[in-house]
Amino acid sequence: MAGITRKTKRYPSDLTDEEWERIAPLMPPANRRGRKRTTDFREIINALRYLVRSGCGWEMLPVHFGPW
């Protein structure tokens, strides 16, 4: 499985490739009949881990995590 391709700042709370390989199979597959996903599950988990580790609120998430 390929590593993360984000071209922005990395954080200590980001998943490592090894961690992602372990949990990626647990993510639900994309629905072939629905619209395509616009956000990667790995980025969502990275954002949640950032929130937990930093203690900041949703509105204080760095912009590159996306509009939540």
Q: Which two tokens stand for residue 62?
A: 């760095």
What pLDDT shows up at residue 17? Answer: 93
pTM: 0.68
Task: Give the residue carrying structure tokens 């490592």.
Answer: 16
What is the reported pLDDT for 8? 60
Instruction: Render each residue's pLDDT in the chain as its tens digit; 68 residues.
Output: 445 555 566 888 889 999 999 999 999 888 888 888 888 899 889 888 888 887 777 767 777 666 66
What's the confidence (pLDDT) of residue 67?
Answer: 65
